[in-house]
Each structure stands twice: as structure tokens, then as C-alpha cells.
Structure 1
Amino acid sequence: MTGSALPELQQAIERLLAFLAQDGCTDAEFDEVAAQLFTLQYTHDEPYRRFCQRRGLTPRRLAGWRDIPPVPISAFKDSTLSCVPPDECERVFMTSGTTRGEVRGRNHHPVIAVWDLSMRRNFARRFMQGAPRMRMATLFPDEGELPNSSLARYLSLASRSFGAPGSRAYVSAAGGLDVEGVCRALGDAVAAGEAIALMGASFSFVHLLDALRERGIAFTLPAGSRILDTGGYKQQAREVPLDEFYDGLAQAFGVPRARCINMYGMTELSSQLYDDGNAAVPSVKSGPHWIRTRVLDPLTGREVAPGERGVLAHCDLANFNSATTILTEDVGVAVPGGFLLLGRAEGAEAKGCSLAVQAFLEAARP
């Protein structure tokens, strides 16, 4: 890694790694790190600087993290948001490209250590919940097959960091879902009386549930077993209502819905948010101390009143190289302890998101 951003970047990375490793933070500490990263991005990320200038915000005028202008996620498809040249980045994650054909968003990571620490710290607390290791069956290709997929990295890192012997992926890019292999792994767990974690994209679970139903197979996995789904179908499976989906998981695997945990994340972020199970839906989602969420009116950019629906904007301090604060296209409502995810933006909310993208592109254009 070379370039003019190197000294400030190294300092920011060192500070950020220490910040992620600590247990919690005060509002003042969060604002301090957010301000340091905003200055870094404002100085070295030219499209973002022009966007902020159009908004009338400079590092000197930043009062707190809520002032940081959120970048619409679609902007990652049209602009290179990075403090260092892309070819100097250790890893580049790319979106699936399902919404605009082959146009894919990119999130650049000069070093992957920050992303990895963010994932491990949060995963250990929210999913492992004190268990040091357990056998993991992953319903998604390994990152060796999909090196530009943040989800492949996430699930592979989970398996390497927390998986017991026998953990492996049961989906390949070439061969698809290995139903027989998954069934053997689950059967072995039942026979041994050892808890197992079943993890993957929601569309993979739909395919597995359909396959088990066709075969007339169901499991009662040992106590402590749990399921992690990562949401979304990306046109790769039929969409299933949430209650039906989690009922299906509970019936097929004998895992209580309270042990069926959903991870909410995206390529444009460097951290993930979780619920504490899906005994009821929608479930309350929240993140670690280095990410904070606001609910905005996309037409005005202002925070909506408590209890009102709006578009989610996340300030993720682990996203240090591109933009800490992004405007999603997800609708939610703030509730005690986090937020409820209500679906994708439609109607006026979707129009507001489109206008936000247009405003970014007009401001970022040289």
C-alpha cells in the first residue's frame, strides 16, 4: 500500500483496530473516531469530498456523526469511493449485480484486518454466544470460489474462526447444493448428540427445505444447535413470507425459532447487524458499538420522528476507506434496542432514494 493517504491511513487503522477490540464506547468516543475517519475520507476520497462540499460540510464544521452525509448505496456502482487507488487494496468486494445487470458496486479494502476483526468480534457475541467452537455446515460457496463476495468471506471466516473439525461448505459454484452431504452432516450431529450450526443465504435454505420435503426427511438437531440465515433471495429462489420461512426451519431441523438468527449486512458496509432470534417477526436488529443507525426521510434527508418508518442509514466506523455512512434502500423503524427491518423502499421512499443517488452523482462529477 502506497500513496498520499498512507500515513493518515495507517494511524486510522491502528486506532480503529483498538476501538473495535474494546468493550463498548461512549458517545464522545464514537464521535471522535467518526470525525477522524471523516477527515481521512474528505481529504483523500475526491468524489465524496465534492459531495460533502455540495452539502456545505467540511471537517471543521462536523459536530458529530449524525452530521456525516450518507452516501446512497447505488453510488458504489457509479463512483470509486476509496482513499487509496483500487489496485493498492488488499481486497475488493463486489455486489451481486442483480438490480442493474452487470453494473456491480465495489467496496475497496486497503487491508482486510479491520473487516475481519469487525466480523469476528460481533459474530462471537451475537451468534456463538459463548460457545468457543461448533461444527458448521455452510450453505454457500467458499471464498476461494467467490473471492469478491463479502458473504463468502463472512461465512468462510466464521467456519475457520469458530468451526469445529468437520465444518465445511455444502454449496459450490459449479455443483450447487450438496443435499446428501448436508443430510449426512446433520445425521452425524444427531447421532453424536453434538450441536451444529447451519448457516447460509436464505435462498439456499429454501432450496434445502424443498429438497428435504421432497424426500420426506426432517431432523431433530441436538440442543444448542442454531441456524443463521443472511436474508434476501436475489431472484435465486421463490420468496417465502418470514413466518412461513422460520416455521419451515423449525420443523425441518428441530431448532426453535428463537435459535434461528438473521444476519443483516451488505457489501457496502464492513460490519453486520443481528437479531436475537425470530420467535416473532419482524425481529429487532442491532449492531456492535462501532455502528449506529438512523431512520431518514429520503426526500429531505432528515431523521424521522420515533416510531415512524423511513429509510435506514448506517454509520459503520469499520468502513474506514470508502464512506462510513451509507443510505440504504431498506425501510425500517427505530424501536428500543435497535430497529425493525420492514422491506425494500417502494413508492415515495424509492423515489427519495433515487433522488439521493442523482444528487450524489451530480455533486461527485468533476
Structure 2
Amino acid sequence: MASSPLIAELQAYIAADHPSEDVFDRQALALFAHQYQNNLPFQRFCQQRGKTVRTVKSWRDIPAVPISAFKALTLSCVPPEQAERTFMTSGTTQAEVKGKHHHPTLAVYDASMIRNFRQRFMGRCEKLRMGILFPDESLLPNSSLAHYLALALREFGADGSHYLLTQQGLDFTRVITELEHAQQSGEPYALLGASYSFVHLLDELQRLGKTFVLPPGSRVLDTGGFKGQSRELSLADFYAQISGVLGIDASQCINMYGMTELSTQFYDAGNAMLPSVKSGPHWIRTRVVEPLSGEELPRGEQGILAHCDLANFNSVTTILTEDVGVAVDGGFLLLGRAEGSAAKGCSLAVQEFLQAAAA
């Protein structure tokens, strides 16, 4: 599988510049045929919806699989034991069932992350001294975010880049030393990690009465929200506090939106204006849909985000999230988790998928 023509073609597509919509469609349909043949729960779901290799004519026709299905079923075109890595969703309780995303090879995930990160976070900069506010892969081997940040450090971290969170927690002494070094040396510095880790850092720096003015070119990347791991902040307060404490303009505070069930990430262009528009690279597409029918909603109308990610070659290309969004020029606005009738629609979509997969 790791050296198959399907993967080689996909890697070439990710590396291409400005491929046409027709090429995206061809890639999506080839992957759909592969997954329809080799991922039996997905095949049964498609058949119930009247979607087959003959009837699916465009990426928009591919049925979206609810992300909760990754917790209940094995969605993989190869036996899970053949996976080079299996990423698992983070559970808030020990007993919570975790979703699993099996990767026979990390070559596609890595190619997707590296090219996208270079364009959306690094810009014209080749290397940056980085501090990572998240555990490394040895501590969290099944975390897609741990792997993502390890790639960022390996591919784009300048000499002196480092992890700032250990088994003992956030190393505040090291963080302060690094921030002082950046301020004094004039070397741009980047902090990357989970949003809740930034809240813990902000709280400690504010407790100590410490503020910094980091050099031009410095930037921040946060992701994942607060997840009950820290106090909750509005986005406006969160980025205002980062700017005030670190001396980084909100336009240089980038938010990454990703999930275990995807192999590609979305970014905004900074958070000087809120809500910020999220967008992805040429190998992913997003629709805003009614969750149960899968029907695409008109631009400007709120619905559930469905993503078609060609880097998801082994599971399913198209997933139905539980996130509310609205399509706008240049991408979409992420408005939060589904509640009320939208959440009920997502739950019913999950039930439909599981019933079809078990038939």
C-alpha cells in the first residue's frame, strides 16, 4: 500500500501548483472507488443512500460519514494491524470510547501537513526558533496533534527549538528564558500548541507581572480550543491577552482547525478581525450541509461543516463534522459545536450510518 500508484499519484497531486477542479474531481472519484471497494461499512452506507461508483459523478456526491462513526467502527481499507500509525481522538474521560484513524503510511499525512504549514504559517520564512506547548510524540504516540507539532519542529524549527511541556507540566522557567532571549536577541520566535496551554501560560505570566515585546516576524499558532482544560475565554479576549502579554499583533496569531478524522488542516490568516475565515489547500473542499440529508445549504446559511479531504486515502475522504459553520468568500466561518436541532440532526446521521453499516 505504501508504494501503491494511488499514493504516488496523491502525493504528486498535493505537490502540484494550482490544479484544476476537474483534477480534484478525478482524484476524489478514484479514491471513492477505492474506498467503496475496500471499506465495507462505508460501502453499505453508500448503497443505502443509492451512491455507487456508477452514480457518484462528483466529489459533492460522495456521502459524508459522521465523525462519531470512527468511534464505533473500523473505517479502513487495510487491516488496522497494518497501520504505520493509528491516531486516536482525545477523550475527556478515561471510559470514553475514542475514535481511531488508521494510516498505513504517514507519507501522505506528512506531505499534506508540511506543504500546507509552509504556505499558511511560515510564509516567506524558512526556519523559526520554536517553542512547543504540547507533549512530544514519545508521551502521546497516538495523538495527531503531537505528530503535527513534531513535524513543525523537525521541518521548520531553527536551532534552539524545543518542547516547553513535559510530564511535569508547562516549564514556565524555560518559557520565560526563551521569551527573554527572543526579546533581547531580536530573533523571531514562534509559540505553537493547544489553545488551553496558552491560557495556562498567560495566567502565569500575568501572575508574575511579566510582559514581552517579541521581535518582528514572531508569531503564535493555537489549536483545539479549551476543552475544559483551562478557563474559557472569548476569542477576542484570548487574542487580546496574547497580544498584550507577548507583544505580538493579533494578525500574527494563527489558529489551526483540524481533527483526528482528517489528514489536512485549515488555517486562518490571523485574528486581527473576528471571526476569522478558515480555508484549506487545494486537496480539501468544504460544504455546509443539513446533517441528516447531506443537502448543501445556500451560501450565508448556517449548517454543519462537511469536509472532503483527499489526504484521507485509507479511511473515507468525506466526513460530516459536528461543527456549525457558514460559507463565505475565501472559505468558511467556524461558529462552534452543534447544539439543539443541529446536534439532533448529527445524532440521527450517526444512527443512520451505523444501521446501514450493520445491515
TM-score relative to the length of structure 1: 0.96
Is the 1:261–1:276 contact (alpha carbons within 8 Å) kept by the matching residues of 2?
yes
Determine whether 1:157 maps to 2:151.
Answer: yes
Is the alpha carbon distance of 1:231 and 1:102 closer, same or farther for their aligned partners in structure 2, counting shifts above 3 Å? closer
User: 2 CA distance for matches of 1:62 and 1:302?
Assistant: 15
Aligned to 2:300: 307
Q: Are residue 114 (structure 1) and residue 108 (structure 2) matched?
A: yes
Name the counterpart of 1:283: 276
Q: Does the Cα contact within 8 Å between 1:45 and 1:83 map onto a contact in 2?
A: yes
Question: After superposition, where does 1:1-366 map in structure 2 within 5 Å?
Answer: 6=1, 10-98=4-92, 101-172=95-166, 174-366=167-359
Classify the secondary structure of the residue corresponding to 1:218.
coil
The CA distance in 2 between the partners of 1:279 and 1:337, in whole Å, is: 16
Structure 1 residue ranges (4+ consecutive) displaced by more than 4 angstroms after TM superposition: none
Q: CA deviation at 1:99?
A: 7.5
Residues in 2 aligned to 1:231 and 1:107: alpha-carbon distance in whole angstroms: 18
2-side partners of 1:161 and 1:284: how far apart? Answer: 26
1:58 maps to amino acid: T
Code of the residue aligned with 1:294 in structure 2: it is R
Deviations 1:128-180 (A, max 9, x none): 001000100010011121110000000111011000011011112x2111111
- The alignment partner of 2:54 has SS state of helix
Separation in 1 of the partners of 2:124 and 2:90?
33
Contact 1:70 1:325 in 2 (8 A): yes
AA aligned to 1:80 is T
SS in 2 for 1:77: helix
CA contact (8 A) 1:299 1:349 kept: no
For the residue of structure 2 that corresponds to 1:323, the secondary structure is coil
- Across the aligned residues of Structure 1 and Structure 2, the Cα RMSD in angstroms comes to 1.2
- Aligned 8 A contact 1:133 1:163 in 2: yes
Hey, what does 1:3 align to over in structure 2?
none
User: Could you say what secondary structure the match of 1:62 adopts?
Assistant: coil
- Secondary structure of the structure 2 residue equivalent to 1:330: strand
CA distance in 2, matches of 1:148, 1:100: 15
Deviation at 1:332, TM superposition (A): 0.4
Aligned partner of residue 229 in structure 1, secondary structure: strand
**Bigger shift: 176-185 or 229-238?**
229-238
**Paired residue type of 1:338:** G
Give structure 1 stretches of 5+ with no counterpart: 1-5
Name the CA distance, whole Å, in 1 between partners of 2:37 and 2:93. 31
Secondary structure at the aligned position of 1:120 is classed as helix
Report the residue type matching 2:135 in the other structure.
P
Number of residue equivalences: 359
Distance in 2 (CA, whole Å) between partners of 1:15 and 1:276 is 29
Following TM superposition, by how much is the alpha carbon of 1:299 offset from its aligned partner in structure 2, in angstroms?
3.3
Partners of 1:102 and 1:21 in 2: how far apart?
38
Comparing 320-329 with 17-26, greater Cα deviation is found at 17-26
Letter of the 2:323 counterpart: D
What is the DSSP-based 3-state SS (H/G/I as helix, E as strand, rest coil) of the residue aligned with 1:12?
Answer: helix
Secondary structure, in 3 states, of the residue corresponding to 1:60? coil
Instruction: Report the Cα offset of residue 231 of structure 1.
Output: 3.0
Instruction: Write out per-residue CA displacement over residues 10-44 of structure 1, whole angstroms, 9 at most, x where no aligned residue.
Output: 12101100000111221100000001100110000
The SS at the match of 1:61 is coil
Task: Give the TM-score taking structure 2 as reference length.
Answer: 0.98
